[in-house]
Structure 1
């Protein structure tokens, strides 16, 4: 198996920050930081655990919705982080910091999504 090209994570973070800078109200730096962190976690998970890359979609209305789609049907399962490793924290962060989140199955693959801003969904 070819190792994931994790340089894409930084590129996605940069594009998300640009998008948010045109939308977010003044003083919403915390929203930008949380959105960037959660997007990084989901993109990293998709690139590390799924073959064939990932597609990231960010939608802005009165809230931010980010979806990361990969092409593997296996659903991610939140798990406790290991004390000596770097895995197991992504979905835990998404669960604790997002206003809403979920997993949507597709004919091929799935999307893991989260929403922020505007209060609970």
Structure 2
């Protein structure tokens, strides 16, 4: 690899690093905006969780008033769990968009390794 090829490779690697950083910043903002929703099996309870998976809202239909305490408890827990699962699914899709280079990291840094050897005179 001559100096010109190395300079081109370094420029390309740095440009990709900048694009990856911009993607990570966008994904981070998108993750913070995520909301997961869940609904009980018979629809008596609906729940919403924020990006951390913490309960933000819960609503009940009139049918929920007819449930006994154990039934209501079960419906709420199931619904919050479904909302958290929905959130995790959305987050996984966003995180997946960060994977741009499937090569092992050792191959991704090869250009920088060559540049370092040249600077040391090897």
- Give the alignment's TM-score, normalised by structure 2: 0.30
Q: Which has the higher strand share?
A: 1
- Give the alignment's TM-score, normalised by structure 1: 0.31
Higher RCO (CA 8 Å, separation ≥ 6 residues)? 2
Q: Which has the higher helix share?
A: 2
